[in-house]
Amino acid sequence: MSAKPTIYLKDYTPPSFLIDTISLRFELDETATRVKSQLQVRRNPQAAVTRQLQLHGHESVELCEIKLNGAHLAADAYQREAEFLTLLDVPESFELEIETCINPEANTALEGLYLSDGMYCTQCEAEGFRRITFYPDRPDVMSVFTTTLVADASRFPVLLGNGNPVQRGELDDGRHWVTWVDPFPKPAYLFALVAGDLQCLEDQFTTCSGRQVTLQIYAEAKDLEKLDHAMTALKNAMRWDEEVYGREYDLDIYMIVAVDFFNMGAMENKGLNIFNTACVLAHPRTTTDAGFQRVESVVAHEYFHNWSGNRVTCRDWFQLSLKEGFTVFRDQCFSADMHSAVVQRVDEVGILRTAQFAEDAGPMAHPVRPASFIEISNFYTLTVYEKGAAVVRMLHTLLGADVFRKGADLYFERHDGQAVTTDDFVQAMADVSGRDLTQFKRWYSQAGTPRLKVSDHYDAASQRYQLNVQQSCPATPEAQQKLPFHLPLSVGLLRADGSSFVLKDGKTTQLLELTEAEQTFVFDGIDEAPLPSLLRDFSAPVKLVYGYTDEQLAFLLSHDEDGFNRWDAGQQLSLRLVNRLIADYQQGKPLSLPDTFVATWQSVLQQAPQDPAMAALLLTLPSEAYISETAEQIDPLAIHHVRHFMRCALAEQLESSWLELYRQHDSQSGYTASAADMARRSLRNLCLSYLMVLESPAHLALAQQQFETADNMTDQFAALISVAHSGFRDSADELLAEFLSQWQHESLVMNQWLMVQATDPREGGLARVQQLLEHPVYDARNPNKIRSLIGAFCQQNAVNFHAQDGSGYRFLADHILQLDAQNPQIAARLLTPLTRWRRYAADRQALMQAQLQRIMDKGQLSGDVYEVVSKSLCQ
């Protein structure tokens, strides 16, 4: 059993007391930091009357002193329990002073105040503030924070807090101090401080109303040259939020700090974002194009939170998607505007359809607004983030961009400075549109991925075409029965010549609104039998079933005007073949690719130069993860083998085309991070990866040459991975060694180096990973290193992780048990692949369950790991 109880949304009650102001003073010390807090407390007129004040406080916090209205509290005036400090009898309003002592050096969980490579930083979302001091650590308690930091001036020259710096000074003992005031009331989860020996890149931004904002991005001196891209992204995001949402920044200064030890990607603390180095540092020499894009989108995401999250925040943690779903939707639209909208959409849907759909079908499935949890950290999920964004996108689609914008305006205006719910968000949309969105809200309360079964009928005599749509949703842990969803289904109808019919309002895409379990839509004036293009732009997060023939999919692939659906038609075509070949493989039959399939690829290859970005997408087979997600039962070996076979066959039969395309897309001039250049590199490196599966010395030479001469990490890394995962063992070892010696002092590059080896599908994967655990570049306390080695092995190396002898599962369980005592959040996240045991055949199921049971039997688990393991076992 876990010591932590389940918390339910239905039990929500408003806070008994409010905190108008909090003033904090930190005397920073590695092992004994003193924190003095002074709170102005008053009873909440909105809550039931009580004389007891309950404050959260983690067991690691030592209480040194407590005073009420200036007088020491007697020992019998309060109670200290593991998670709380309760004052037994307090007046209506009063001043409370608390002094605590905490140990940042011992903080390996990286929640609260901790040390990252010798610098102090904090992470308070969701419940980290209670590891600093005693406080009502819940998002609906919003207060004005003043923070004073005191630290040794030579070792910690930079002292940062939320808001604006108002005062600074020096002490006689070599320490200095700075006081920061944040005028905007905020919940404790948005509190932050940083102290360290940091350098910064500074710039200015003039807001739409003409205010000057100072922008600063802090990092260690060695990383100063890697901050330009984040700064550009920040300025673009600030401008975009003004133009698209009318949102202006509100403080005089906006700071970002890069830290190497961080559990997640980044954190939107008011005016003082703290970022995982992997999400802010970027330089062409050391960062791949994917890394550049991640930096841009995470910088934008955290910036957008200033309105969707900070100015308007969440009432309780069940409402997490209020800020995360909306903010992800905003950052997705931003990225689409900055780059190719189709490529962006394909990437988003890829994540949703592989990882989120898998989550929705597993033991941790939960609604976008969960109804209960044991540990909130386990709910920073793809469902809350990505499906939450898809739900906001559906509102955008249903209401149209203009009405949606009015709804957002009303939401921000109505709730500025408040802590609210997803219902409040939808209500603002309902109010501006005059629509009843009651049924739509089921997207927030029902888990599971709906399935749409579509059939059609064409009657030539009446020129009438009908689409019949049935929707259903599988049972999930919280509910067996589901009610129908309200969703937008975007469709087009194609003529035999490939053009689209003009439908309602002179448009070629029509929005159908689904609300019933079964509905029929009628199209009149259709003068030839059409081919439907369904769920254009992936208008809803559902699984679509329609009986396309292979020829029809190939037709959509070449003709659909909807870029997303062209890509998807290609994916579905490939997926069908994958499934046929898996069946052949399992029956011991020889594998072969149909000529029609190769011909389709040949024609895509021929047209590739016209749109390299699209071509790179179209020429990528469905990932092993996506194939697994769509499979009845996952056979990791068969999936890997078949996909590899298809790549080899396509490489062999189209070798000259790949080679020609590879040569054509060489860079003419130096590196740029433009969308066109990124597309060119992705197509070229895809060609190289196909050529390398042929294991020909000529192609190896190409890869080696690219590795040696590349002026950027995208090309160098693509060459490395193509050789490292090839049969050329000696060359692989050579390049890996060369890469190590070239980049050993670049921590983020070393993460990539670990990852290439962790994801190598060839035999002996586990032994290689075990060796790497001992390598000097590995650091068992750093989440990025753990993710790059253990996480990558368990999630992106299916053939080795799912070894028949269960060694992969045992390895993961060993590490979870070890990690749980050190960093429960990371331990719980690493568990994901084991939670999927039901999707495999009986032998693997038994092995995976046995490891989950072994973890369970250990006892003394954190709430994080306990929740995931217990839910996985009882499903």
Give the catalytic positions in this structure.
302
**How many residues interact with Zn ion (rule CB under 5 A)?**
2
Q: Does 731 bind ligand 0A1 (CB under 6 A)?
A: no
14 binds, options ligand 0A1, Zn ion, none, Cβ within 5 to 8 A by partner type: none
624 binds, options Zn ion, ligand 0A1, none, Cβ within 5 to 8 A by partner type: none
342 vs 384, beta carbon nearer ligand 0A1: 384
Q: Does 379 bind ligand 0A1 (CB under 6 A)?
A: no
Sign, CA torsion 127/132/136/141: negative
Q: Which stretch binds ligand 0A1 (CB under 6 A): 86-94, 261-269, 493-501, 513-521?
A: 261-269
266 binds, options ligand 0A1, Zn ion, none, Cβ within 5 to 8 A by partner type: ligand 0A1
Residue 582 contacts residue 638 (beta carbons within 8 Å): yes
Q: What phi and psi values does residue 766 have, to the nearest 5 degrees? A: -65, -40
Rg (CA), the chain: 28
380 binds, options Zn ion, ligand 0A1, none, Cβ within 5 to 8 A by partner type: ligand 0A1
Residue 284 contacts residue 344 (beta carbons within 8 Å): no
- Quote the least distance from Cβ 127 to ligand 0A1, whole Å: 9
Q: Which stretch binds ligand 0A1 (CB under 6 A): 64-72, 260-268, 404-412, 571-579?
A: 260-268
- Quote the least distance from Cβ 426 to Zn ion, whole Å: 19
Q: Does 597 bind ligand 0A1 (CB under 6 A)?
A: no
726 binds, options Zn ion, ligand 0A1, none, Cβ within 5 to 8 A by partner type: none
324 vs 568, beta carbon nearer Zn ion: 324
H or E stretch including 433? helix 422-433
Q: Does 348 bind ligand 0A1 (CB under 6 A)?
A: no
- Quote the least distance from Cβ 263 to ligand 0A1, whole Å: 5
Residue 330 contacts residue 308 (beta carbons within 8 Å): yes
Characterize 209-222 residue by residue with b for buried, 16 or more Cβ atoms within 10 angstroms of its Cβ, and e for exposed: eeeebebbbbbbee
Interface with Zn ion in residues 318-337 (CB under 5 A): 324, 327
Characterize 130-140 residue by residue with b for buried, 16 or more Cβ atoms within 10 angstroms of its Cβ, and e for exposed: bbbbbbbbbbb
Q: What single-letter amino acid sits at 206?
A: T
Q: What phi and psi values does residue 302 have, to the nearest 5 degrees? A: -65, -35
Q: Does 820 bind ligand 0A1 (CB under 6 A)?
A: no
Rounded Cα distance between 4 and 849, Å, is 23
157 binds, options ligand 0A1, Zn ion, none, Cβ within 5 to 8 A by partner type: none
Query: What are the residues whose beta carbons fall under 8 Å from the beta carbon of 88, sequence distance 6 or more?
Result: 51, 52, 76, 77, 78, 79
Q: Does 809 bind ligand 0A1 (CB under 6 A)?
A: no
476 binds, options Zn ion, ligand 0A1, none, Cβ within 5 to 8 A by partner type: none
Exactly one of 380, 564, 567, 645 binds ligand 0A1 (CB under 6 A); that residue is 380
- Quote the least distance from Cβ 2 to ligand 0A1, whole Å: 19
- Quote the least distance from Cβ 327 to ligand 0A1, whole Å: 7
Exactly one of 18, 259, 267, 719 binds ligand 0A1 (CB under 6 A); that residue is 267
Q: Which stretch binds ligand 0A1 (CB under 6 A): 101-109, 242-250, 264-272, 432-440?
A: 264-272
Q: Which stretch binds ligand 0A1 (CB under 6 A): 169-177, 265-273, 444-452, 680-688?
A: 265-273
Q: Does 261 bind ligand 0A1 (CB under 6 A)?
A: no
H or E stretch including 55? strand 53-56
Rounded Cα distance between 875 and 873, Å, is 6
- Quote the least distance from Cβ 327 to Zn ion, whole Å: 5
301 vs 725, beta carbon nearer ligand 0A1: 301
- Quote the least distance from Cβ 262 to ligand 0A1, whole Å: 7
Distance set, CA 697 to CA 504, 619, 646, 694, 701 (Å): 58, 24, 21, 9, 6
Q: What phi and psi values does residue 193 have, to the nearest 5 degrees? A: -145, 155
> Environment class of residue 423 by beta-carbon count within 10 Å: exposed (0-12), middle (13-18) or buried (19+)?
middle
Q: CA torsion angle for 394, 472, 836, 581 (degrees, to 10)?
A: -100
**How many residues interact with ligand 0A1 (rule CB under 6 A)?**
14
553 vs 826, beta carbon nearer ligand 0A1: 826
Q: Does 273 bind ligand 0A1 (CB under 6 A)?
A: no
Locate the DSSP E strands across 403-527. 419-420, 451-459, 464-472, 487-494, 510-514, 518-524
Exactly one of 182, 223, 268, 568 binds ligand 0A1 (CB under 6 A); that residue is 268
Rounded Cα distance between 704 and 735, Å, is 8
Rounded Cα distance between 714 and 733, Å, is 20
324 vs 820, beta carbon nearer Zn ion: 324
393 binds, options Zn ion, ligand 0A1, none, Cβ within 5 to 8 A by partner type: none
- Quote the least distance from Cβ 353 to ligand 0A1, whole Å: 21
Q: Does 360 bind ligand 0A1 (CB under 6 A)?
A: no
Minimal CB distance to ligand 0A1: which residue? Answer: 264
- Quote the least distance from Cβ 421 to ligand 0A1, whole Å: 18
Structure tokens, 678:
């990124």
DSSP state of 486: P
Sign, CA torsion 94/100/104/107: negative
Interface with ligand 0A1 in residues 322-341 (CB under 6 A): 324
Q: Does 864 bind ligand 0A1 (CB under 6 A)?
A: no
DSSP state of 73: P
Distance set, CA 731 to CA 644, 727, 770 (Å): 21, 9, 22
Residues 447, 451, 452, CA angle at the centre, nearest 5°? 140
Exactly one of 53, 160, 201, 266 binds ligand 0A1 (CB under 6 A); that residue is 266
Alpha helices in 81-191 (DSSP H): none
Question: Cis ω on the peptide bond leading into residue 461 (within 30° of 0)?
Answer: no
Are β-strands 266-267 and 272-276 bridged in parallel, bridged antiparallel, or unpaired?
antiparallel
Q: Does 256 bind ligand 0A1 (CB under 6 A)?
A: no
Which residue shows structure tokens 């038609």?
Answer: 569
- Quote the least distance from Cβ 266 to Zn ion, whole Å: 8
Exactly one of 35, 237, 251, 264 binds ligand 0A1 (CB under 6 A); that residue is 264
- Quote the least distance from Cβ 297 to Zn ion, whole Å: 11
Query: What are the residues whose beta carbons fall under 8 Å from the beta carbon of 252, sequence distance 6 or more?
Result: 164, 211, 212, 213, 214
Structure tokens, 394:
């559906």
DSSP string, 193-243: EEEES-EEEEEEEE-TTS-EEEEEEEE-GGGGGG-HHHHHHHHHHHHHHHH
Rounded Cα distance between 775 and 446, Å, is 46
Q: Which stretch binds ligand 0A1 (CB under 6 A): 266-274, 450-458, 679-687, 741-749?
A: 266-274
Interface with ligand 0A1 in residues 106-125 (CB under 6 A): 123, 125
- Quote the least distance from Cβ 314 to ligand 0A1, whole Å: 10
Exactly one of 107, 133, 263, 335 binds ligand 0A1 (CB under 6 A); that residue is 263
Interface with ligand 0A1 in residues 276-315 (CB under 6 A): 301-302
448 vs 824, beta carbon nearer ligand 0A1: 824
- Quote the least distance from Cβ 144 to Zn ion, whole Å: 23
327 vs 747, beta carbon nearer Zn ion: 327
- Which residues here bind Zn ion, judged by CB under 5 A? 324, 327
- Which residues here bind ligand 0A1, judged by CB under 6 A? 123, 125, 263-268, 301-302, 324, 377, 380, 825
